[in-house]
């Protein structure tokens, strides 16, 4: 029996469910290391990392070039060996310029002395968590929350680890290919995580559209008393932490709280892989598997690129564009960020880069709500987007709060099904910001 | 270098489902076709002409209103066309064309556009038009011809039709009209007196099934509505009929199918959550049977839905889904 949650959508066509057929059978291709990498100090949620190198320095592969800027922060490592040619703000996927270290590749891939296997068994738990922190591991599913924070704050509170292989976003197949091609790394990584967190059960959660990965994983898990495979029905946004926890364990993360409050810690499959590489090879996060797909891409592929590789090189490796792109996306089509150029680096959380030739967004002028209620049926947070939109469009912040706009996870299910094409998520993002501003202002006024 | 001159930046999500307002309204029109065919077979070509006049009037009224208030024309969403077909379907085939046009004006201008147009009107436009016509010209609105008789295509005269008038099954059951009850089978196929689009339960069920299949509507409203009527007419038989007979006549007469599948499911004027739709459907069913049994009219579908339309905001408020991760206390209340 496959697990699932209530609400959600399943984009795609009959012949191409989830729009994944362009790349789900294509093996991961390792992209040649580029001549230059751009490594922003913000590739995670939290404080930016602090740069440790200066222009002209020679750095080795895997060398820490920026240290964590606080507890909720992650260091950055050189993804090639070579010379630092610039430390300056560069264009980031978030659309602004972010302080970045630019390294010219000497193509020697000279390993840094710190890159060596660690003796996991003889380390204390604090040392293990420190090792994960030092390796710059963040949530590889796209949210990029620093993994050590999740582990540290979850120990004692969590009895369950969920490994997120839902990959419910349309088009993306990078986790699918990793599960198929490198399941040993992932399963070993989960074993490390189970030991560190001391949980009594762990589930590797995979949607049924990746059934070809099940046999090998079950074989690797045979006899394991703690780790189990949890098949999931295909449903977006099943990979959202709260929905995944609900699907597999039946628990609900309380409103405004974290997964740890429901006793669960959720890690992406590639985060588990990164944990494995951290202990078994001593390798920090320097690579990333990216699905390059969409109707404008000549030959869609799954590419493994060094972190900091310019996305243009990935597009080149896919034969360039077959049509002029109408939309460029870093991430999936449901929650990814629109880009205006491919001149941005691959980041730790870049699971996909998509290019659409046609207008898939179908915006209309003056959209009118017809109250069809489709949004109510699909909201995975069980909210009422039709009323939230009504209040938001009138700038009625009390109404927005009353209808729990702050619980919105911005998954986009409501906007996807909306026949009137109302940009609901955009409305709610603005409303959330305004409500939070209002709350801050009220808190400040109360202080005075 | 690549050409990014056509690239647009928008907020996520970046893909949308195929369905839009127009395609949904188009589905509703398709779902109404079986009933139109049967009705034309039963009452003659005047049905087609009446429907066409009603649709044209609705489109013209909406265009004129939009022109006057300076809004972009909205007839492209086809919702006015749906209103036009539904209005024609709830009128007798012998209604003079000019009355139908007045009804269309009330539907589109008074009931819909003045409240802000599609999605903002709080009562069903087609039913509002019918209620207005029934109050203004009660005789013309309750003159029914027997199945198989052919009303003149262009004739507007009531007298020529008097010889062949027939009572609706509900009026006979109620005792407000004389005549023999048609058989259940003839009511299923539509061989009985009644409004144009309401006579054939089978044709309407086919249309309803199409709407359910296309996921234009969910089963909640029609199931709750029809179920409530079924239970009540079964438990409390009317007009000296047996229990089951009473239920069958209750279900297949008087536009219940048209109301349950096409009117009570109108998006603008029904609740947004499934829970709310069930409450709404039960309310419609209760009122329909109460009006049929205790009211002044033999038929209750129209007024029951109009009355329930006015309670939608209340139903929406009290059937709001409990949000994910709500505190346990809130859950108990919900």
Q: Which tens digits make up the pLDDT trace of A79-122?
A: 999 999 999 999 999 999 999 999 999 999 999 999 999 999 99
Determine the distance in angstroms separating the CA of B14 from the nearest CA of chain A, rounded to an integer: 5
- Structure token pair of residue A122: 């003889």
B43 or A417: whose pLDDT is higher? A417
B4 vs A426: CB contact, 8 Å cut-off? no
Name the least confident of A243-257, B199-213, B242-256, B305-319.
B242-256
Entry field: residues in chain B: 334
Chain A interface, mutation test: which of B324, B329, B331, most A Cβ atoms within 10 Å?
B324
Task: Write the DSSP string, A344-360.
Answer: SB--TT--EEEEESS--
Q: pLDDT confidence of B167, banded at 50, 70, 90?
A: confident
A255 vs B323: CB contact, 8 Å cut-off? yes
What local confidence, expressed as pLDDT, does residue B171 receive? 81
B15 vs A342: CB contact, 8 Å cut-off? no
A421 vs B16: CB contact, 8 Å cut-off? yes
Asked whether the predicted pLDDT for residue B331 surpasses 60, the reply is: no
- Give the sheet arrangement for strand A82-91, strand by strand: A36-40, A97-105, A82-91, A58-59
For the segment B276-287, the average pLDDT, to the nearest whole number, is: 97
Asked whether the predicted pLDDT for residue B52 surpasses 50, the reply is: yes
Chain B interface, mutation test: which of A376, A387, A399, most B Cβ atoms within 10 Å?
A376
Query: A141: helix, coil or strand?
Result: coil
SS3 content of chain A, % helix, strand, coil (to 5): 30, 20, 45
Determine the distance in angstroms separating the CA of B168 from the nearest CA of chain A, rounded to an integer: 34
For the segment A415-422, the average pLDDT, to the nearest whole number, is: 96
Q: Which among B2, B11, B324 has the least Cβ separation from residue A423?
A: B11
Q: With an 8 Å Cβ cutoff, is B325 touching chain A?
A: yes
B297 or B282: whose pLDDT is higher? B282
What local confidence, expressed as pLDDT, does residue B161 receive? 52
Domains of chain A as residue ranges with CATH: 34-105 (2.40.50.100), 120-280 (3.40.50.11540), 287-356 (3.10.20.600), 374-447 (no CATH)
- From A18, which residue of chain B is nearest by alpha-carbon distance? B15
Asked whether the predicted pLDDT for residue A403 surpasses 80, the reply is: yes
Asked whether the predicted pLDDT for residue B251 surpasses 50, the reply is: yes
Q: Which tens digits make up the pLDDT trace of B171-195?
A: 888 777 777 788 888 888 888 888 8
For the segment A195-222, the average pLDDT, to the nearest whole number, is: 96
- From A11, which residue of chain B is nearest by alpha-carbon distance? B17
Asked whether the predicted pLDDT for residue B162 surpasses 60, the reply is: no
Q: CA dist A304 to A18, A76, A220, A289, A352, Å?
A: 22, 18, 24, 4, 11
Q: pLDDT confidence of B330, banded at 50, 70, 90?
A: very low
d(CA A290, CA A29): 10
d(CA B266, CA B279): 15
Q: Which among A336, A359, A421 has the least Cβ separation from residue B12?
A: A336
Q: Which tens digits make up the pLDDT trace of A58-77?
A: 999 999 999 999 999 999 99
Q: What phi and psi values does residue B258 have, to the nearest 5 degrees?
A: -60, -45
Question: Chains A and B: how many Cβ contacts under 8 Å?
Answer: 171
For the segment A1-19, the average pLDDT, to the nearest whole number, is: 91
Quote the ipTM score.
0.90
CA atoms A316, A321, A326, A327: torsion sign:
negative
Q: Which tens digits make up the pLDDT trace of A325-383?
A: 999 999 999 999 999 999 999 999 999 999 999 888 888 888 999 999 999 999 999 99
Determine the distance in angstroms separating the CA of B320 from the nearest CA of chain A, rounded to an integer: 7
d(CA B102, CA B97): 9
What local confidence, expressed as pLDDT, does residue A101 receive? 97
Q: Which among A253, A336, A420 has the least Cβ separation from residue B14?
A: A336
Helices A385-393 and A424-447 meet at what angle, rounded to 10?
60
Q: Which tens digits make up the pLDDT trace of A383-400?
A: 999 999 999 999 999 999
Q: pLDDT confidence of B155, banded at 50, 70, 90?
A: low
- From A417, which residue of chain B is nearest by alpha-carbon distance? B17
pLDDT averaged over every residue in chain A: 95
Q: Which tens digits make up the pLDDT trace of A135-181?
A: 999 999 888 999 999 999 999 999 999 999 999 999 999 999 999 99
Domains of chain B as residue ranges with CATH: 21-150+161-318 (1.10.3430)
B22 or B296: whose pLDDT is higher? B22
Determine the distance in angstroms separating the CA of B105 from the nearest CA of chain A, rounded to an integer: 21
């Amino acid at each position: 029996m496959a697990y699932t949650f209530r609400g959600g959508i399943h984009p795609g066509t009959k012949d191409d469910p989830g729009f994944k057929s362009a790349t789900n059978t294509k093996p991961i291709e390792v992209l040649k290391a580029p001549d230059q990498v751009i490594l922003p100090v913000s590739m995670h949620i939290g404080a930016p990392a602090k740069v440790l190198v200066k222009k002209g320095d020679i750095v080795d592969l895997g060398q820490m070039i920026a240290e964590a800027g606080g507890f909720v922060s992650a260091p950055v490592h050189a993804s090639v060996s070579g010379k630092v040619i610039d430390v300056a703000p560069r264009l980031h996927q978030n659309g602004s310029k972010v302080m970045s270290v630019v390294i010219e590749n000497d193509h020697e891939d000279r390993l840094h002395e710190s890159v060596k296997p660690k003796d996991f068994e003889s380390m204390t738990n604090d040392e293990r968590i420190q090792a994960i922190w030092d390796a710059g591991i963040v949530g590889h599913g796209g949210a990029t929350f620093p993994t050590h924070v999740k582990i540290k704050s979850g120990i004692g509170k969590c009895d369950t680890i969920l490994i997120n292989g839902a990959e419910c976003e349309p088009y993306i197949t990078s986790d699918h290919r990793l599960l198929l091609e490198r399941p040993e790394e992932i399963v070993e990584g989960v074993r490390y995580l189970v030991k560190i967190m001391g949980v009594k059960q762990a589930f590797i959660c995979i949607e049924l559209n990746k059934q070809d990965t099940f046999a090998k994983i079950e074989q690797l898990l045979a006899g394991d008393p703690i780790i189990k495979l949890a098949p999931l029905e295909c449903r977006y946004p099943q990979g959202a932490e709260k929905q995944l926890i609900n699907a597999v364990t039946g628990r609900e993360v309380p409103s405004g709280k974290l997964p740890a409050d429901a006793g669960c810690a959720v890690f992406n499959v590639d985060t588990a892989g990164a944990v494995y590489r951290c202990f078994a090879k001593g390798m920090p996060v320097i690579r990333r598997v990216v699905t390059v797909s969409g109707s404008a891409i000549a030959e869609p592929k799954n590419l493994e690129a060094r972190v900091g590789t310019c996305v243009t090189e990935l597009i080149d490796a896919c034969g360039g564009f077959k049509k002029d792109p109408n939309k460029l996306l870093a991430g999936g089509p449901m929650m990814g960020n629109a880009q205006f150029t491919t001149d941005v680096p691959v980041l730790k959380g870049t699971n996909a880069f998509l290019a659409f030739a046609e207008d898939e967004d179908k915006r209309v002028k003056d959209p009118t709500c017809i109250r069809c209620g489709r949004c109510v049926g699909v909201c995975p947070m069980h909210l009422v987007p039709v009323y939230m939109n009504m209040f938001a469009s009138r700038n009625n912040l009390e109404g927005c709060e009353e209808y729990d706009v702050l619980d919105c996870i911005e998954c986009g299910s409501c906007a996807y099904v909306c026949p009137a094409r109302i940009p609901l998520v955009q409305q709610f993002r603005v409303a959330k910001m305004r409500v939070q501003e209002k709350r801050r202002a009220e808190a400040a006024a109360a202080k005075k | 270098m690549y050409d990014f001159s056509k690239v647009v930046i928008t907020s996520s999500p970046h893909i949308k489902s195929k369905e839009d307002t127009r395609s949904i309204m188009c589905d509703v029109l398709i779902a109404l076709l079986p009933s139109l065919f049967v009705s034309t077979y039963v009452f003659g070509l005047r049905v087609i002409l009446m429907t066409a006049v009603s649709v044209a009037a609705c489109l013209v009224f909406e265009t004129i209103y939009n022109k006057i208030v300076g809004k972009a024309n909205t007839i492209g969403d086809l919702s006015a066309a749906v209103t036009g077909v539904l209005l024609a379907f709830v009128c007798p085939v012998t209604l003079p064309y000019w009355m139908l046009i007045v009804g269309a004006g009330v539907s589109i201008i008074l009931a819909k556009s003045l409240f802000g147009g599609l999605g903002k009107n709080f009562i069903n436009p087609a039913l509002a038009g019918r209620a207005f016509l029934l109050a203004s010209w009660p005789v013309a609105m309750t003159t029914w011809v027997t199945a198989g008789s052919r009303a003149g295509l262009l004739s507007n005269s009531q007298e020529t039709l008097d010889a062949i008038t027939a009572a609706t099954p509900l009026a006979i059951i109620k005792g407000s009209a004389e005549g023999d009850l048609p058989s259940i089978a003839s009511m299923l196929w539509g061989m009985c007196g009644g409004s144009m689009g309401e006579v054939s339960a089978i044709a309407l069920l086919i249309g309803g099934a199409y709407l359910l299949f296309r996921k234009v509507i969910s089963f909640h409203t029609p199931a709750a509505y029809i179920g409530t009527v079924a239970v009540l007419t079964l438990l409390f038989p009317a007009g000296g009929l047996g229990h089951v007979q009473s239920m069958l006549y209750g279900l297949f007469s008087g536009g219940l199918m048209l109301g349950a599948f096409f009117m009570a499911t109108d998006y603008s004027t029904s609740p947004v959550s499934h829970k709310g739709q069930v409450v709404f459907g039960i309310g419609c069913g209760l009122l329909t049977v109460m009006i049929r049994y205790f009211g002044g009219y033999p038929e209750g579908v129209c007024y029951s839905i109009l009355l329930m339309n006015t309670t939608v905001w209340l139903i929406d408020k009290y059937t709001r889904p409990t949000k994910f991760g709500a505190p346990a206390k809130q859950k108990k209340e919900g």
